[in-house]
Chain A
Amino acid sequence: MNPSFEDRMATVEFRVDTEAHIVVDNDVCKSCTTQECVTACPARLFVPTSEGGILFNYEECFECGTCYMVCNKEGAISWSYPLGGHGVVMRSS
């Protein structure tokens, strides 16, 4: 059986920083018609809002880079790595 998405993400260790390493400019996202980040992000961190924007949560991020690769809106996603020692920790992968 496939686990719920919440249970899936619970199998991964995240050492969450107090500051976000990725910042999403919601004003830019509102003008985006495709919002491919919503489905492509393997951690489902991009959630569409009823106002047509994006609600983003950095906490359970794999730091993979898929979001900025699929994003076609200049300036929508500011991407960097978390500060040292923070973020995802993979142990059996």
Chain B
Amino acid sequence: MAANFDVVVVGAGPAGSAAALVAARAGLSVCLLERGPFPGAKNMYGGVTYARILDDLIPSWWEEAPVQRWITRRSTMIATGTQAVTVDVRAGDWSKPPYNGATTYRSEFDAWLANKAVEAGATLVTSTTAIGLLRNERGAVVGVRTDRPDGDLVAQVVIACDGVNSFLAKEAGLYANFSSEHFTLGAKEVLTLGKEEIDKRFGLVDRQGIDIEMVGVTQGVPGGGFLYTNLDTVAVGVVVNVESLGKSKFRPEELIAGVKEHPSIAPYLRGAELHEYSAHLIPEGGYNSMPELVADGMLVAGDAGGFCLAAGLFLEGVNFAIGSGRAAAETAAAAIAIGNTTKSGLADYRRKINQSFVMADHKKMRRAPELVLSDRMQTQYAELICDVAQGLFTVSNPTPKPGLRAILRQERKRRGVRLRALVRDGITSLRTFG
């Protein structure tokens, strides 16, 4: 005998829990399915949560969310093997409510958000994997099959928040343009260092935290490195294009070691001990490679929908997961209310997403993945920027100062960087980030 719900949400990550919370508050019966033993067990990231999207869903969320540290210092570092140019931003506003970014352990944050859905009336079922879709004679999705005996769950709407590998979206035929070139691997080490040492080494107090994003530290494999602080641990890792990683024959842990050994990073991590190693895929294709989001009886949100910005300057995902999960639940509730959960009845989801920050940000950043992962950005420009900065600040008396323009011209010529390409990429950068 199958269990019946208005909505079955698959995956209790940020997208799924936000969807379950909103659907339950709308008065729907909701089953929130999670294959891990607890929400967050299967999740890792790299690793800042921007949670202002929760402001009206969970007022004063910052007073109760399990936050490690608040990001009050955001650094962007462009590096070569022996050089680094860093833009270091500190903002006092980021250390007080409503804050900006937070570091969290996903086992804690995801479990907290899932519990909010439970408090709103959703039924959380853990340790249960959705193994396929249930369909009616017309092919519409009417539920999911789980790996439990008699574990069919019937629903008017299935919201697939089953992550970057979304088997449900694939089964529903929504991943027509699937290509592995649009995915990156995140691999990370969480290192024990102790709160006092972290505060001292990174210039932080209380719950202040730092997030350093790096380009040019991944041995020529397109991607980047990151380091951020938790309360008494530091997370350091890489995000690299999966196809390029395979061809490079570098191992993920070797790339992490390269970041840790970089002369700008190594002193921060001296004596730190490995606490937990982890890895996860990221949908990094952005706006130009998103799957379809709506099928008869089904909506897709979070990583499963390709909502993730990993575009150099900005690295966000949890916020888009929550935003898309919420829009999916609102759409499902309206469709159920009028009794039309077909593809056309659920079409409003696409409109809602398009009108929200979820798609606005992705559309604005649509050129970013290609630009940031290009060899010019990854190697040529990183070297150019570092050499120009080094030239500018090197005092080589008795030779007089060469001047910035002369250094720029000389380094550009030496590296064979064509002015036209530089100007073109500059314009693309302005249109993307400006």
Measured CB to CB, the residues of B under 8 A from A are: 35-37, 40-45, 47, 105-107, 126-129, 131, 146-148, 164-165, 167, 180, 183, 185, 187-188, 190, 230, 233, 235, 242-243, 245-253, 257, 260, 274-281
A-B contact pairs, 24 of them (CB 8 A): A8-B253, A39-B246, A39-B248, A42-B253, A62-B280, A66-B279, A66-B281, A69-B180, A69-B246, A70-B180, A70-B242, A79-B165, A81-B35, A81-B129, A81-B167, A84-B35, A87-B36, A87-B42, A89-B42, A90-B40, A90-B41, A91-B105, A92-B105, A92-B233
CB distance from B117 to the nearest CB of A (A): 18
Contacts A89-B37, A90-B276, A93-B278 supplied; 8 other A-B pairs, CB < 8 Å: A3-B274, A8-B274, A42-B253, A69-B242, A69-B243, A80-B167, A84-B129, A90-B278
Tell me whether B146 and A64 are in contact (CB under 8 A). no
**For residue B105, which residue of chain A has the nearest CB?**
A92
Q: Is A2 a contact partner of B257 (Cβ separation < 8 A)? A: yes
Main secondary structure on chain B at its contact with chain A? mixed
Q: Are B126 and A90 in contact (CB under 8 A)?
A: no
CA distance A45 to B277 in the complex (A): 15
A34 to B251, CA, bound (A): 14
Contacts known (A42-B253, A66-B242); A12 close to B276, Cβ less than 8 A: yes
Give the 7 A-B CB pairs with smallest separation, nearest first. Answer: A85-B127, A36-B246, A70-B246, A93-B44, A42-B279, A69-B180, A93-B278
- A81–B33 Cα gap in the complex (Å)? 14
What secondary structure prevails in chain A residues at the interface with B? loop
For B260, what are the chain A residues with a Cβ–Cβ distance below 8 Å? 2
User: Is A70 touching B243 in the complex (CB atoms < 8 A)?
Assistant: yes
When A7-B274, A84-B127 are in contact, do A40 and B245 touch as well, CB less than 8 Å?
A: yes
Residues of A bordering B, CB below 8 Å: 2-3, 5, 7-9, 11-12, 15, 34, 36-37, 39-40, 42-44, 62-66, 69-70, 79-85, 87-93
Contacts of A85 in B (CB 8 A): 35-37, 126-128
Q: What CA separation (Å) do A7 and B273 show in the bound complex?
A: 11
C-alpha gap A85/B151 in the complex (Å):
15
Chain A residues lying within 8 Å of B253, measured Cβ to Cβ, are 2, 5, 8, 42
Query: Bound complex: CA of A91 vs CA of B419, how far in Å?
Result: 48
Find chain A residues with CB under 8 A from B146 CB.
84
The answer to whether A39 touches B180, judged by C-beta atoms less than 8 angstroms apart, is no
Complex Cα distance, B242 from A69, in Å, reads: 7
Once bound together, how far apart are the Cα atoms of A87 and B129, in whole Å? 11
Measured CA separation A84–B190 after assembly (Å) = 26
A65 B276 Cβ-Cβ under 8 A: no
- Residues of chain B with a CB closer than 8 A to A80's CB: 131, 167
Q: How far is the CA of A57 from the CA of B230 in the complex (A)?
A: 33
Cα A70 to Cα B278 in complex, Å, equals: 19
